[in-house]
Structure 1
Amino acid sequence: MSQQAHRKDEHFFIAEKLYQKKAQNGLDQIRLVGTNLPELALDEIDLQTTLVGQKIAAPFFINALTGGSKQTDKVNLTLARVAQKTNLPMAVGSQSIALKEPQRQAGFKALRTVNPKGMFLANLGVNHPLNNVNQALDMLDASAIELHLNVAQELVMPEGDRIFYWQDNLRQLLAQVKKPILVKEVGFGMTPQTLKILTDLGVKYVDLAGKGGTNFQRIENERRKENKLTILNDLGLSTAESLLAAKKYAADINLSLTASGGIRTSLDVVKCLVLGADNVGISGLFLHLLVQDGEDALVNYIETLKWEIRNIMAILGCKNISQLKKVPYLLSTELRNFVEQI
């Protein structure tokens, strides 16, 4: 097994080992204000929204998880079946291994055999050249690609990158790639300053990927044998903070936002939508449920999430996702102070 394939397995097992049932995403510090006179029927509620400008049937999707080793390819195949059964989009983990080791491409290509008509998002680091991006898209016949920003992870990763001149490459990719590009963090959150830079570069779609769920700094520190960088473990903005910061500067950053990072419940999903997200990515929770309870249990849980979201929207008096953005909410003292200072 190659070093990169072994790293894929390590990420998978350590992510499950470090999984926390109660996430630290900050969403518990937000209270939604409902209505006692919703003036709607449950059957009228529409869960449709958009992801990278394309319509999707529910406001959440299976976000980037894994793939590229024998073990993780099996997980991806199962997730692709789950996506097909539940009509959810699915993003794969980084495909860089399949570019360095072409024999690994078969595991990604196989996803189309179980979900031939589904919406897939490819995944690479933002430093990859145009040819690599096109190969990653073709590998999945993907609808879009996630290009991830992961400075903190790379710094902790023993074999990670140490050079981060990314903006010029991203500008070129935005001009040349024919499919939508979703620029995403990997659990560090995004500042308004970053969002402004991305907007100026021409980015339209961003996954804020806040702190509070899968923590790749912690995962990479688990892999380090010495000189651990645990000081970086808790840096970054939470999912709630990233959304609130983006909302405060929404007039200056005309972006379609994906929220992710420690999503655990249907209420988490709805809170993210209220705070301005168009859709929500879920990774760690789905992986945990799959590992612990199996494919059928995950399918049932996803359908339960849809049902619960519909009921929460009824309480809030919202017939569609766009109406959620007008729902009033209350912030904890801590989050209110954050908004005043950011």
Structure 2
Amino acid sequence: MSRAKRKIEHIHHALEHDRDYYNHFDDIDIVHQSLAKLNFDELSLSVEAGELKLSSPLFINAMTGGGGERTEQINGEIALAASETGIGMAVGSQMSALKDPAERNSYEIVRKNNPDGIIFANVGSEASVSQANEAIEMIEADGLQIHVNTLQELIMPEGDRNFKTRMENIQRIVEGVSQPVIVKEVGFGMSKESVECLWNLGVRYVDIGGRGGTNFSKVENLRREKPFSSFENWGIPTPISVLEAKSIHKDLHIIASGGIRHGVDGVKAMVLGGEAFGMAGTLLRVLLQDGRQALISEVEHILHEVKMALMLMNARSTKELHRQPYVLSGKTREWQEQRM
């Protein structure tokens, strides 16, 4: 099967499969502050995480590209919505365009439609330094995501099986590109052991990509004659993964993604230790079902939710969320008690 056809299948299956019935964000209760002290119009959503400066904590996370005209159209619409709302965005894996120049248009459209926005390039952990730099150049990216997706590759019929050089590749890319490098999971979460290993390689940004959103075990199993369904519940839920990552180093920059349904979930992720949060499948569904204006409206609604939550905690900015009190219950509390 061609990469382009596989990309289209991924979109279809990602939108159709059921999400987890249990969302670990429901295990988190933020402590409400009744006595408001701030002016809503003066609250700031801007984020400074090391070298990254974002207008808001929400960004549209990596989704697609490399699937011909259809993914070019999708990326173009996402880029226009990101430009209109002023939020950042990431493209899907550019490995297809690095191997087939005919697929470059499905990524280059992003910078064309969003000339001044924050855009993240994306390569696999098998990429060379030259490929990483080419991916950045392709879309004039402000940062680079390196996605790690071991379980997805193992279930994918045509996936990779040899990962012996991946850590060395990641270290070479971190040392060989000038833009910030974000190592990103794709829905299985990161343990504190994995994050510590990345820290020791020089990685300072992680997108923990936890379990709870698009389930690439299910996506790839839908493409198999005999699925490995026993792995469809594998991985670390997003809130737990944020807690695990936070325990490694105070200077580590954590991005949360995976199963974030709305602005309040995003705020919970930041209260736990994240500095920004990405949403993908939820926003893609809005775009494909209702169009770009609906996507713009949804993004604006989510950002308004974040500001409302700031007001209800007397937090002037997202940076102050890390100091806010919260209570854990359920499976998330059980995990924390055994692991932290």
**What TM-score results when the alignment is normalised by the length of structure 1?**
0.95
What is the CA-CA distance between 1:256 and the residue it aligns to? 0.1
Map of 1:201 onto structure 2: 201
What is the CA-CA distance between 1:109 and the residue it aligns to? 1.3
Q: How does 1:183-332 map to 2 (within 5 A)?
A: 183-226=183-226, 228-247=227-246, 249-250=247-248, 252=249, 254-332=251-329
Consecutive aligned runs of 4 or more in structure 1 exceeding 6 Å deviation: none
Moved more, 146-155 or 42-51: 42-51
Q: Aligned residues, how many?
A: 337
User: What residue identity is the alignment partner of 1:300?
Assistant: S
User: What residue identity is the alignment partner of 1:55?
Assistant: K
Aligned pair in 2 of structure 1 residues 137, 28: CA closer, same or farther (>3 Å)?
Answer: same
Map of 1:32 onto structure 2: 30
What is the CA-CA distance between 1:253 and the residue it aligns to? 6.1
Alpha-carbon separation, structure 2, partners of 1:114 and 1:337: 46
User: What residue identity is the alignment partner of 2:118?
Assistant: M
Aligned pair in 2 of structure 1 residues 52, 282: CA closer, same or farther (>3 Å)?
Answer: farther
Aligned pair in 2 of structure 1 residues 46, 95: CA closer, same or farther (>3 Å)?
Answer: same
**What TM-score results when the alignment is normalised by the length of structure 2?**
0.96
Aligned pair in 2 of structure 1 residues 333, 110: CA closer, same or farther (>3 Å)?
Answer: closer
Query: Matched residue of 1:184: which SS?
Result: strand
Map of 1:88 onto structure 2: 87
What stretches of structure 2 of length at least 5 have no aligned partner? none
Query: Matched residue of 1:173: which SS?
Result: helix
What stretches of structure 1 of length at least 5 have no aligned partner? none
What is the CA-CA distance between 1:254 and the residue it aligns to? 3.3
Contact kept in structure 2, 1:29 and 1:332, CA below 8 Å: yes
What is the CA-CA distance between 1:163 and the residue it aligns to? 0.6
Alpha-carbon separation, structure 2, partners of 1:17 and 1:162: 27
Query: Matched residue of 1:145: which SS?
Result: strand
Contact kept in structure 1, 2:75 and 2:109, CA below 8 Å: no
Alpha-carbon separation, structure 1, partners of 2:332 and 2:217: 24
What is the CA-CA distance between 1:53 and the residue it aligns to? 2.6
Alpha-carbon separation, structure 1, partners of 2:23 and 2:133: 34
Q: Deviations over 1:93-116 (max 9, x none)?
A: 001110111111122112222111
Query: Matched residue of 1:36: which SS?
Result: coil
Alpha-carbon separation, structure 1, partners of 2:211 and 2:50: 22
Alpha-carbon separation, structure 2, partners of 1:161 and 1:36: 53
Identity of counterpart residues, as a percentage? 38
Alpha-carbon separation, structure 2, partners of 1:334 and 1:284: 24
Alpha-carbon separation, structure 2, partners of 1:258 and 1:79: 20
Alpha-carbon separation, structure 1, partners of 2:104 and 2:49: 25
Query: Matched residue of 1:50: which SS?
Result: strand
Q: RMSD between aligned alpha carbons?
A: 1.4
Contact kept in structure 2, 1:67 and 1:92, CA below 8 Å: yes
Contact kept in structure 2, 1:195 and 1:253, CA below 8 Å: no
Q: 2:53 aligns with which of 52, 55, 64?
A: 55
Moved more, 253-262 or 57-66: 253-262
Q: Is 2:126 the partner of 1:115? A: no
